[in-house]
Amino acid sequence: MEHTRVARLKDIVDFKKEIDNAGRILQSGGLVAFPTETVYGLGANGFDARACHAIYEAKGRPSDNPLILHVADRSMVDAVAADVPLMAEQLMAAFCPGPLTLILPRGSRVPDAVTGGLDTVGIRMPDHDIARAMIRSAGCPVAAPSANLSGRPSPTTAEAVLQDMDGRIPLILDGGPCSYGVESTIVDCTGSKAAILRPGAITREMLEELLGDVELDPALAGESSIPRAPGMKYRHYAPKAPLTLLEGPTGLMAQGMQEELKKRANRRVGVIASEEVAAYLQAFLPAERIVSYGKQGDLQSIAANLYESLRAFDDMPMDSLLAEGTQETGLGLAIMNRLHKASGFRSIVLSDKLRKG
């Protein structure tokens, strides 16, 4: 078993030493976990098919689920894309570096191990000093999915990476908690109209302001079961105990949770909820059974805390978990997408229940 070292980049000297070291590991075909503004990534040299295969092995990831190529600057995009359509240029000018992945026609140097054999490639320029310095030091695009075991919630701290990757990779660069906390928005730029394949912090509303009408992959709206981002078809983001999502108006959540808890009176149930609902439930549940992800409606905080909340009960013997949903507009679309998948689409819709009587 490989020894995994967590490198804390405390000062400028550490920074330079550890970035150089990470660059060397990547150049020689090794894996490095690194922070970005979205979640931690598990990186390999994106031109080295063997190194990319090692990512699939470390994560236990299905081989048809492609990786995203991370670049340090605009010039690297031309090294991995065969063509950059106008809408992609507009998106890059507006949002890159940032939490946005563009699907573009695949360049000839990109191996099948990155794209899962597709004729397109996902490209992202992270808005994070450590990530971009590491890519520059490696001198190549860095292929990376999230640094979790396949199916688990994505890691937003170095500790969460270590939980999943200990003994599987040589190095984790610790950059502290990620600021956004959900993965990048994936936008397919290869058709006549931009299409969102995975919602993220660059919201549909932001994209439409720039480009006009933007499509949502029908699989995200539940209208088709075959998503165009292969990764979205897998059960993902799942905590160890089975999770049920409560959906509906915020005003019904506290009472809705209380009713669901009553039905599960003899079971060990954990709750992931807003501060407001958590405060209300204190009278009915011991404190260690409640995790709060932020204030109702504060979507930025909820996104940033989401995956840590989903991991919070993993060390406790829980029978089941209940999670409070959010609105589905703006950043809420990304949050609810992850919660639906984390729950395996097991939802209780509170407004429906009330209407039924």
Contacts to ligand AMP by CB under 6 A:
65-66, 68, 103, 115, 118, 120-122, 145-146, 183, 186, 197-198, 228-232
Chain residues that interact with Mg ion, rule: CB under 5 A:
145-146
Residue 162 sits at the vertex; the CA angle it makes with 156 and 236, to the nearest 5 degrees, is 55
Query: Nearer Cβ to ligand AMP, position 22 or 69?
Result: 69
Query: Nearer Cβ to ligand AMP, position 190 or 274?
Result: 190
Work out how close the CB of 16 gets to ligand AMP at its nearest, in angstroms, rounded to a whole number: 28
Work out how close the CB of 197 gets to Mg ion at its nearest, in angstroms, rounded to a whole number: 13
Residue 82 interaction partner, one of Mg ion, ligand AMP, none, beta carbon < 5-8 Å per kind: none
Query: Nearer Cβ to ligand AMP, position 92 or 257?
Result: 92
**Which one, of 85, 57, 78, lies nearest residue 145 by Cα?**
57
Burial of 278 (0-12, 13-18, 19+ CB in 10 A): buried
Side chain identity, residue 63: S
Residue 59 interaction partner, one of ligand AMP, Mg ion, none, beta carbon < 5-8 Å per kind: none
Whose CB is nearest to Mg ion?
Answer: 146
Return the residue matching tokens 């092995």. Answer: 57
Work out how close the CB of 76 gets to ligand AMP at its nearest, in angstroms, rounded to a whole number: 16
Query: Nearer Cβ to ligand AMP, position 46 or 175?
Result: 46
Query: Nearer Cβ to ligand AMP, position 115 or 157?
Result: 115
**Which one, of 290, 198, 195, lies nearest residue 237 by Cα?**
198
Work out how close the CB of 61 gets to Mg ion at its nearest, in angstroms, rounded to a whole number: 8
Q: Which residues pair with 5 in a beta bridge?
A: 171
HSE toward the beta carbon, residue 156, CA cutoff 13 A: 24
Alpha helices in 60-178 (DSSP H): 74-80, 86-95, 112-115, 129-138, 158-165
- 174-186: buried (b, 16+ CB within 10 Å) or exposed (e) per residue? bbeebbbbbbbbb
Whose CB is nearest to ligand AMP?
Answer: 231
Work out how close the CB of 154 gets to Mg ion at its nearest, in angstroms, rounded to a whole number: 5
Query: Nearer Cβ to Mg ion, position 70 or 290?
Result: 70
β pairing state of 290-292 and 120-124 = unpaired
Residue 321 interaction partner, one of ligand AMP, Mg ion, none, beta carbon < 5-8 Å per kind: none
**Which one, of 150, 184, 191, 190, lies nearest residue 65 by Cα?**
150
Work out how close the CB of 11 gets to ligand AMP at its nearest, in angstroms, rounded to a whole number: 30
